[in-house]
């Protein structure tokens, strides 16, 4: 039988893509998710077990039933703005939830964990591109919880021999190349799907927050990485951990940035649709440029992005979005809040 991997948050955007990558690599993914933001329809390559990280009895039961050999941990809240308004929610889930998971792993003798981290641990960069040795100075509770989680993993590696890899994503983008799963947040806060919703007529315009940054066109620059490439990195990290004790961290990005206006122009080009924009004041704490130095993941894990091109990422996301809404608009009784079209909005977060 294929080795089983417990995937917390396996019904979410990145977690579900990781489940597919695991299945394609010969593993059996078991998604453990409370469905607060994940979707049942995204779990297609293994069983779904509904539960919460703080429920120790439920975690123990799932682990006892499936006997996983390792864990991939995606279950976390990730909206930076929300974390400022409600930091307790983020510390309780992102830090206390991890501690509960690690306790369950110790009870079961599990010693391998691949952890979903973020470039938000770095805060406003002192230099770019950002490598793993860049100072960590998170500017919001979300980034601080991920930094704290990484410290927990380092301490648990030292004290309890739980080996781990923390993968620090920059901006996840795109959708499954076969169109089977994709990004579906409610509300949506990521730039590319919001721009594509405007192209599809699901929202009237896209807000650009700030156009006077010290960048070529005045808008923020970010490093976008295809979600399938992220999933591939998780499988590589899982395999690498089999022979490497300790706690490790790698950046995941393309090493190239695109501005907000470049993303919008690419979406117009890919979709052939007009996209209206509105410029608003810049938001406090938004760095002008965030670009990854991911050479360490390349050198150590043998990982290289296959879909670094912005047009490819947008085309895959567009195929997913149009296919999903075409299906939902023709499906009878599709009025659940999980499946309704989002109300038009002009709110966008260029993360």
Report the alpha-carbon distance of residue 27 to residue 23 in Å, rounded: 5
Q: Is residue 337 part of a domain?
A: no
Instruction: Looking at the structure, tell me whether residues 8 and 150 fall in a common domain.
Output: yes
What is residue 49's three-state secondary structure? strand
Instruction: Looking at the structure, tell me whether residues 237 and 276 fall in a common domain.
Output: no
Instruction: Looking at the structure, tell me whether residues 142 and 260 fall in a common domain.
Output: no
Question: Maximum distance among all alpha carbons in the chain?
Answer: 57
Instruction: Looking at the structure, tell me whether residues 319 and 233 fall in a common domain.
Output: no
142 as an active site residue: the answer is: yes
Instruction: Tell which wins on pLDDT, 347 or 309.
Output: 309
Residue 216 is part of a domain; what is its CATH number? Answer: 3.90.25.10
Q: In what order do the strands lie in the sheet with 289-290?
A: 258-259, 221-222, 289-290
Q: What is the structure's pLDDT at 228? A: 97
Instruction: Looking at the structure, tell me whether residues 157 and 17 fall in a common domain.
Output: yes
Q: What is the structure's pLDDT at 327? A: 64
Instruction: Looking at the structure, tell me whether residues 106 and 205 fall in a common domain.
Output: no
Instruction: Looking at the structure, tell me whether residues 126 and 200 fall in a common domain.
Output: no
Produce one character per residue of 30-42: b if its CB has 16 or more CB atoms within 10 Å, e if not. bbbbbbebbbeeb
Q: Is residue 159 part of a domain?
A: yes
Residues 6+ apart with CB under 8 A from 30: 4, 5, 6, 7, 10, 46, 47, 49, 62, 66, 68
Q: What is the structure's pLDDT at 341? A: 36
Exactly one of 66, 122, 142, 213 is catalytic; name it.
Answer: 142
The whole-number average pLDDT for the span 189-214 is 94
pLDDT in tens, 54-85: 999 999 999 999 999 999 999 999 888 889 99
Alpha helices for 191-256 (secondary structure H): 191-199, 227-241
Instruction: Looking at the structure, tell me whether residues 234 and 137 fall in a common domain.
Output: yes
The tokens for 343 are: 């109300």
The tokens for 224 are: 């976008």
pLDDT over 70 at 335, yes or no: no
Q: What is the structure's pLDDT at 328? A: 58
Q: What is the structure's pLDDT at 344? A: 31
Instruction: Looking at the structure, tell me whether residues 138 and 245 fall in a common domain.
Output: yes
Instruction: Looking at the structure, tell me whether residues 88 and 150 fall in a common domain.
Output: yes
Q: Is residue 184 part of a domain?
A: no
What's the alpha-carbon Rg for the chain, to the nearest Å? 19
Q: Is residue 350 part of a domain?
A: no
Report the alpha-carbon distance of residue 162 to residue 103 in Å, rounded: 11
Report the alpha-carbon distance of residue 335 to residue 132 in Å, rounded: 45
pTM of the model: 0.91
Q: What is the structure's pLDDT at 329? A: 62
Q: What is the structure's pLDDT at 347? A: 30
Q: Is residue 347 part of a domain?
A: no
- By CB atoms closer than 10 A (0-12, 13-18, 19+), residue 103 is middle
Domain that holds residue 292: 191-222+256-330
pLDDT over 80 at 161, yes or no: yes
Total number of domains constituting the chain: 2
The tokens for 62 are: 């799932």
Question: Where does the pLDDT of residue 21 fall: very low under 50, low under 70, confident under 90, or very high at 90 and above?
Answer: very high
Instruction: Looking at the structure, tell me whether residues 248 and 311 fall in a common domain.
Output: no
Most confident of 36-50, 73-87, 177-191, 332-346: 36-50
Residue 38 is part of a domain; what is its CATH number? Answer: 3.40.50.720
Q: What is the structure's pLDDT at 330? A: 54
pLDDT in tens, 178-194: 999 999 888 888 899 99
The whole-number average pLDDT for the span 272-276 is 97
Q: What is the structure's pLDDT at 300? A: 98
pLDDT over 70 at 145, yes or no: yes
Instruction: Looking at the structure, tell me whether residues 21 and 136 fall in a common domain.
Output: yes
Q: Is residue 335 part of a domain?
A: no
User: Of 187, 183, 189, whose CA–CA distance to 11 is shortest?
Assistant: 183
Q: Is residue 340 part of a domain?
A: no
End-to-end CA distance of the chain: 41
Q: Is residue 215 part of a domain?
A: yes
Q: What is the structure's pLDDT at 348? A: 32
Full DSSP string of 261-310: HHHHHHHHHHH-----EEEEPPPTT--SEE-B--HHHHHHH----S---H
Report the alpha-carbon distance of residue 159 to residue 179 in Å, rounded: 43
């Amino acid at each position: 039988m294929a080795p089983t991997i417990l995937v917390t948050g396996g019904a979410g955007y990145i977690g579900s893509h990781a489940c597919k990558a695991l299945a394609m690599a010969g593993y059996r993914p078991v998604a453990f998710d409370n469905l607060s933001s994940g979707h049942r329809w995204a779990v297609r390559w293994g069983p779904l077990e509904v539960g919460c990280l703080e429920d120790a009895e439920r975690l123990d039961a799932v682990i006892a039933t499936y006997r996983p050999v390792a864990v991939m941990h995606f279950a976390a809240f990730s909206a930076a703005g929300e974390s400022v308004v409600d930091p307790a929610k983020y510390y309780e889930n992102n830090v206390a939830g991890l501690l509960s998971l690690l306790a369950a792993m110790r009870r079961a003798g599990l010693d391998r964990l691949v952890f979903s981290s973020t470039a938000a641990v770095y805060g406003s960069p002192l230099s770019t591109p950002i490598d793993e040795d860049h100072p960590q100075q998170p500017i919001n509770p979300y980034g601080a919880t991920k930094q704290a989680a990484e410290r927990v993993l380092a301490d648990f590696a030292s004290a309890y021999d739980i080996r781990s890899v923390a993968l620090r994503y920059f901006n996840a983008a795109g959708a499954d190349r076969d169109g089977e799963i994709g990004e579906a947040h409610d509300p949506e806060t990521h730039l590319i799907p919001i721009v594509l919703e405007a192209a599809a007529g699901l929202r009237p315009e896209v807000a650009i927050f700030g156009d006077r940054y010290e960048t070529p066109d005045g808008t923020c620059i970010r490093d976008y990485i295809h979600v399938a490439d992220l999933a591939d990195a998780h499988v590589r990290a899982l395999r690498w951990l089999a022979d490497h004790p300790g706690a490790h961290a790698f950046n995941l990005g393309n090493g190239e940035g695109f501005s907000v206006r470049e993303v919008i122009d690419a979406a117009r080009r890919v979709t052939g649709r007009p996209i209206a924009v509105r410029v608003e004041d810049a938001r406090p704490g938004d760095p002008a440029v965030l670009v990854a130095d991911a050479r360490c993941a390349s050198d150590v894990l043998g990982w290289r992005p296959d879909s670094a091109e912005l047009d490819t990422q947008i085309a895959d996301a567009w195929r997913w979005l149009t296919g999903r809404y075409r299906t939902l608009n023709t499906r009878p009784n599709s009025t659940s809040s999980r499946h309704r079209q989002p109300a038009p909005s002009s709110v966008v977060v260029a993360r």
